[in-house]
Structure 1
Amino acid sequence: MKQGKRSVTITDIARELSISPSTVSRALNNHPAIKEETKRKVITLANKLNYQPNLLALNLLNKKTNNIGVVVPEITSHFFAAIISGIQDILNASGYNIIMCQSNESYREEIKIIENLSSVRVDGFLIAPSSKTRKLDHFVKLKNSGVPIVIFDRDCQGLDVDKVLLDDYDGAFQAVDYLVKSGCKKVAHLGGSLSLSTSIHRRQGYIDALKSNNLSVRDDHIFHTKGFKHSDGIRAAKSLLKLKDPPDAIFAVNDRIAIAAMYVAKMYGFKIPEDISIIGFDDEPHSSYFTPSLSTVRQPAYSIGLLSARILLQNLSNPHDSPGFRREIFRPELIIRDSSRLRPDT
């Protein structure tokens, strides 16, 4: 089998010019101690031989790789895709590359990814933890090694690092308060895993909005899905809408679950929003094209990505300047469409 052509090295250039490899290296980096004539000869020969520097070796020598590890639970949803776009726009403009990895909501896969990225010495991490992540030892180990970390979207209680989050509680409160004020009296909740801060805060926002409107919280009107796929939502919605006393409104933990609830409601003969109002969370692009279009809580996903990347860049540029850890929280926006009743004052 034909062998590929061997790459030209600094040693090859040094041998050809009868000078030391260190002199070649300095000449290529325009070191002031090297004579201009020597620089000219080295650069001319390097171009002639099509010399390509070993960036990995140079980066390791400089203790910098210009690579950032980005770890997310998934990349298929619009929410995380928009965050990644924000991250990429900031980091690429600053000369950094991103190594994109998805944990598939697996704690073990998340640990493996972080270990692998650490072994190639990425300069920093941007991480949205998996829904199965309960122990934080792998994050603490990263922090103690001096590698900058920014946690986004999903909080890790007790982990002192920079974080960029959303006020999930406020988003849920807005949604449920609207449902009640639009005339709904039996508002149910299709929630996510209670191992996630986002699910916990959205559930609490739901509960507090009911209480603030003097409505009781019914345990049989709260279902928690095992995952965030449409199939998970369908199973939960069927259990909810089969009740003898079904709800007249549903607040769902995200748009996928809300759309699944709309599908089941139609299957069971409910009219939306006349018989049942439904509000999701995320504002996925396709949500406005369903019939009826889905009311939802909009998250500024792209802005979350931008700010997360900017904070990481600040830490990389000035690692000792920050006296503490930043905790930035975005406020969501309630978007009313056709899947929920109009309030009397609208």
Structure 2
Amino acid sequence: MKKDQVTITDLARELNVSPSTVSRALNNSPFISEERKKVILELAKKMNYSPNQLALSLLNKRTKILGVVVPEITSYYFSTAINGIQDKVGSSGYKLMISQSNESFEEEIRLMEAMALVRVDGFLISPSSNTLNYDHFEKIKDSGFPLVIFDRDCVGLEADKVVVDDYSGAFQAVEYLIQTGCQRIAHITGSTNLSTTQHRRKGYLDALQNNNFPILEDLIVIGDDSSSESGVACMQKLLDLRQIPDAVFCYNDAIAIGAMSVIRERGIEIPDQISLVGFDDEPYSSYFKPSLTSVWQPIYDLGLLSAKILLDNLEMEKENPNYRFEVLKPELVIRESSRKII
């Protein structure tokens, strides 16, 4: 059976003093003698007294809890971002309430409503791939909750945002493939709803156009999602073309790994016959044979900065009309799956 929590009233009854005297002593009031403070603190320790956090949060109008909603928790990308968030907020005394939407718009709304009911102090959200309507974000803002959108942009929504320059990362990758002598550069995309997908595709297209390469629609294959299975299906389509590509820029590393398995099954040499580039630079990428060339993203810093902006807003205790839009820079990490520059 769960024991009742020791209260200030219980301590006061034991010492035959008023609850207000105990409260002042526990809060190190200068109006209580050091001798009495010592007696009260020793009893509190002996009786395993701990403050009622709910009562304190109601008194301070703060729960010291931040709501975090991401598409998935177990992936390297989002777990690393959450580490950055945790490291930033932990030193400020905040706790995280973390949930995953599983790329569901409806689940994202449900989770945010549940978090609002328990009065989290603010939200850090990476929208689902199916989030095309932002009314729930507007509702949260109108209710007075600070909100930071990270990783995936919500175009048209006025809010603080922290993203990575996906366009620049894709442009770097494709221009590098061109410099290595590749002529037929394919692209396997992710979900078309995502801003990250759109920006990476734009970087791919602009890199080709800036180098006077033709845009060949049969070399652009749209994936159902961002999984290795999608990479397998899309790569099979590319290898069934009459003239196969000599390079493939993939939306992420998971897709690239799926593509790599198909290329090797067909007996095609990487990178001699096909160069392969991913995006995210996940830890396993360097352990494949051949190791995967990929675009590194500052994911930890993404989480860290997102949390800092939210904490800054909470400290201001008033609405900031000047929303921040922070863009972090990625870097191309060259490994064995792509040719050397000729």
What are the ranges of 5 or more consecutive residues in structure 2 without an aligned counterpart? none
**Which of 333, 338, 341 is the matching residue for 1:340?**
338
Q: 2:213 aligns with which of 212, 215, 239?
A: 215
Sequence identity, in percent? 56
Whole-angstrom CA distance in 2 between matches of 1:48 and 1:166: 52
One-letter code of the match for 2:265?
A: M
Deviation at 1:49, TM superposition (A): 2.6
Give the SS at the match of 1:185: coil
For 2:225 and 2:203, how far apart are their aligned partners in 1? 20
Deviation for aligned residue 1:182 = 1.2
State the 1:23 CA deviation.
4.5
Q: 1:240 is matched with which residue: 235, 238, 241? A: 238
Kindly provide the amino acid, as one letter, of the partner of residue 90 in structure 2: N
Structure 2: distance between partners of 1:31 and 1:252: 62
RMSD between superposed Cα atoms in Å: 1.9
Q: Following superposition of structure 1 onto structure 2, how do residues 243-322 of structure 1 map, counting pairs within 5 Å? A: 243-320=241-318, 322=320
Following TM superposition, by how much is the alpha carbon of 1:135 offset from its aligned partner in structure 2, in angstroms?
Answer: 1.0
Report which stretch shifted further, 60-69 or 294-303.
60-69
Shift of 1:40: 5.2
Structure 2 length as normaliser, TM-score?
A: 0.94
1:44 Cα deviation (Å)?
4.4
| TM-score, length of structure 1 as denominator length | 0.93
Q: 1:55 corresponds to which residue?
A: 53
Superposed, 1:1-346 pairs within 5 Å as 3-17=1-15, 19-32=17-30, 39=37, 42-320=40-318, 322-344=320-342
Question: Using the alignment, how far apart are the partners of 1:11 and 1:210 within structure 2?
Answer: 74
Q: Match for 1:177: what amino acid?
A: E
Residue by residue over 1:174-193, the C-alpha shift from the partner in whole angstroms, topping out at 9 and shown as x without a partner, is 11111112111111110011
In the aligned structure 1, how far is the partner of 2:262 from the partner of 2:105?
31
- For residue 185 of structure 2, what is the amino acid of its counterpart? V
Tell me how far apart the structure 1 counterparts of residues 104 and 340 of structure 2 sit (CA, whole Å).
40
Distance in 2 of aligned mates of 1:41 and 1:75 = 47
CA distance in 1, matches of 2:172, 2:242: 28
The count of corresponding residues between Structure 1 and Structure 2 is 342
Between 284-293 and 66-75, report the one with greater CA deviation: 66-75
Rounded Cα–Cα distance in structure 1 between residues aligned with 2:48 and 2:339? 68
